């Protein structure tokens, strides 16, 4: 049993304090997942909160043998995201992500170039379908294997790989077009 | 079929899931399928740029919200685990078949001892009988506090409300308060002790337990008790907790309020 699974098992058995350790480890990856999906920091914070409320509510349903805690957590996040999408369409309307005050490098020229590329990528990501974007975000950032992502999104591993490929193809076109127009 | 294979292999290549010894073969296959070296480099560059998309830091408000939700959940769990609902209170505050069996055995034992002491129940003998029954109740309480089941330990603590209050009971509750693995059980022990704060040693035991508590739930509950008792000596151990940089902001704020009230 992984350390995270052991902690969640203790939470399930009544030691709720152990959830604080899991929150410390996972709040940022979850926030990043939602932020990359929504480009909306307050909505992403709300969604992280919803996920941990659901973890508390459904803690007795956690079974370490059914998969890792991370898979269970992102499955909850995936469902919370779907609920949010249904209520809040269109999804990318909250704030201009280019205006976000993100960390900067010591090298101002390199920093500017990197920021421009990242801004282009954010815009290109927003051009993908929700399913393509989510598959790519889970594949690229969350440290989950394709098999685990398939469990999160309730489909076959082969489907995930095909989605990644098609998302990369679409992204290549969108990113290239943005690069030419800038 | 081969397109599916191409998609699968490209997805695996992006993530670095392809074994180094197989990489050249995979790339050769992809070239045959129209993914030349330039296209592959383009994918790799895109994949790298994807990793450079920054994310802002979540706000402190999100953390405070989580901690407050967690504290509320713990309080609800504690209430839910409180063993006997008022309407179902039974003999010695116990419910369930094993407890009834125990209660019945006490009656039989009492009758047997009483029988041995007849024909005339003199005052001293009755007192002796009561003392034996109390000893038995204390022994059961202490045994149940050793149970591996948290709900059983919670029941034992409630049982302490009815048991004769003596040093072993007090010490067992203090031990539970300071060392039980379950914070809800520790909270129940604290409540039981706080109700007997007029008894010798209890006030000091509560005071001494502050430094043992790493659960915010217990820290806040003890702060409430200390403020209610106006126990000024508690300010110092609470200051030590406040000085810990890992203490949650909302907990620190509440402990600072408690210290201010104590001084």
pLDDT at B74: 84
pLDDT at B13: 87
pLDDT at B226: 93
pLDDT at B253: 83
Angle subtended at Cα A27 by Cα A68 and Cα A96, rounded to the nearest 5 degrees: 125
Considering only CB atoms, which chain B residues are within 8 Å of A31?
55, 58, 62
Q: Does A21 touch chain B (CB under 8 A)?
A: no
Fold topology of A99-182 = Arc Repressor Mutant, subunit A (1.10.10)
| C-alpha atoms less than 13 angstroms from C-alpha of A182 in its C-beta half-sphere | 13
B149: closest chain A residue by CA: A13
- B69 with A168: Cβ contact below 8 A: no
pLDDT at A112: 74
pLDDT at A95: 43
Nearest by CB to B74, which of A16, A122, A172? Answer: A16
Q: Does A172 touch chain B (CB under 8 A)?
A: yes
Q: Does A164 touch chain B (CB under 8 A)?
A: yes
For an interface test with A, the pick among B1, B3, B11, B57 (most A C-beta atoms closer than 10 Å) comes out as B11
The predicted-structure confidence for A29-82, as pLDDT tens digits, reads as follows 999 999 988 888 888 999 999 999 999 999 988 887 666 899 999 999 999 988
pLDDT at B89: 45
Closest CA to A160 of B173, B129, B12, B258: B12
Fold topology of A1-95 = Rna Polymerase Sigma Factor; Chain: A (1.10.1740)
| Domains in chain B: boundaries | 2-50
Angle subtended at Cα B142 by Cα B139 and Cα B144, rounded to the nearest 5 degrees: 105
Q: pTM score > 0.90 for this model?
A: no
| Domains in chain A: boundaries | 1-95, 99-182
What residue ranges of chain B have pLDDT lower than 70? Answer: 1-2, 79-104, 111, 114-126, 130, 133-134, 137, 162
Averaged pLDDT, A100-120: 64
Residues A146, A157: Cα–Cα separation, whole Å:
6
Considering only CB atoms, which chain A residues are within 8 Å of B53?
36, 118, 121-122, 125
Nearest by CB to B42, which of A118, A164, A172? Answer: A172
- A52 with B74: Cβ contact below 8 A: no
pLDDT at A149: 92
Nearest by CB to A122, which of B15, B53, B65? Answer: B53
pLDDT at B199: 87
CA B229 to chain centre: 25
The predicted-structure confidence for A121-142, as pLDDT tens digits, reads as follows 888 888 889 899 999 999 888 7
Are the C-beta atoms of A70 and A60 separated by less than 8 Å?
A: no
For an interface test with B, the pick among A16, A20, A31 (most B C-beta atoms closer than 10 Å) comes out as A16
CA B25 to chain centre: 55
- % of chain A exceeding 70 in pLDDT: 84
Are the C-beta atoms of A140 and B55 separated by less than 8 Å?
A: no
């Amino acid at each position: 049993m992984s350390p995270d699974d052991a902690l969640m098992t203790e939470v399930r058995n009544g030691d709720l304090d152990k959830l604080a350790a899991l929150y410390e480890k996972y709040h940022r990856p979850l926030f990043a997942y939602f932020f990359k999906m929504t480009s909306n920091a307050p909505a992403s914070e709300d969604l992280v909160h919803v996920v941990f409320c659901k973890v508390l509510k459904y803690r007795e349903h956690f079974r370490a043998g059914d998969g890792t805690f991370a898979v269970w957590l992102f499955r909850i996040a995936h469902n919370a995201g779907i609920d949010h999408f249904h209520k809040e369409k269109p999804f990318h309307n909250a704030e201009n992500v280019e205006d976000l005050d993100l960390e900067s490098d010591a090298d101002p020229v390199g920093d500017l170039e990197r920021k421009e590329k990242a801004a282009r990528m954010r815009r290109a990501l927003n051009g993908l379908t929700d399913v393509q974007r989510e598959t790519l975000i889970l594949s690229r950032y969350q440290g989950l294997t394709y098999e685990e992502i398939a469990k999160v999104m309730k489909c076959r591993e082969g489907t995930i790989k095909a989605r990644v490929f098609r998302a990369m193809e679409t992204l290549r076109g969108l990113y290239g077009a943005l690069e030419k127009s800038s | 079929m081969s397109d599916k294979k191409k998609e699968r292999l490209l997805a695996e290549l992006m993530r670095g899931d392809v074994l180094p010894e197989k990489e050249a073969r995979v790339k050769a296959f992809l070239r045959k399928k129209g993914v030349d070296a330039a296209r592959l480099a383009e994918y790799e560059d895109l994949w790298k740029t994807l990793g450079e998309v920054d994310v802002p830091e979540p706000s402190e408000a999100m953390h405070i919200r989580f901690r407050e939700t967690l504290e509320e959940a713990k309080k609800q769990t504690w209430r839910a685990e409180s063993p006997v609902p008022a309407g179902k209170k039974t003999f010695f505050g116990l419910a369930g078949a094993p407890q009834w069996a125990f209660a019945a055995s006490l009656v039989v034992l009492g009758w047997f001892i009483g029988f041995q002491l007849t024909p005339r129940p003199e005052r001293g003998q009755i007192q002796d009988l009561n003392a034996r029954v109390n000893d038995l109740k204390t022994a059961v309480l202490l045994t149940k506090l050793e149970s591996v089941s948290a709900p059983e330990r919670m029941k034992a603590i409630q049982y302490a409300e009815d048991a004769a209050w003596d040093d072993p009971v007090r010490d067992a509750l203090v031990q539970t308060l300071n060392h039980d693995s379950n914070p809800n059980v520790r909270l129940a022990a604290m409540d039981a002790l706080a109700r007997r704060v007029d008894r010798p040693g209890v006030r000091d035991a509560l005071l001494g337990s502050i430094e043992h508590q790493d659960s915010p739930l217990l820290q806040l509950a003890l702060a409430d008790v200390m403020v209610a008792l106006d126990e000024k000596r508690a300010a110092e151990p609470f200051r030590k907790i406040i000085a810990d940089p890992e203490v949650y902001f909302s907990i620190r704020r509440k402990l600072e309020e408690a210290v201010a009230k104590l001084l």
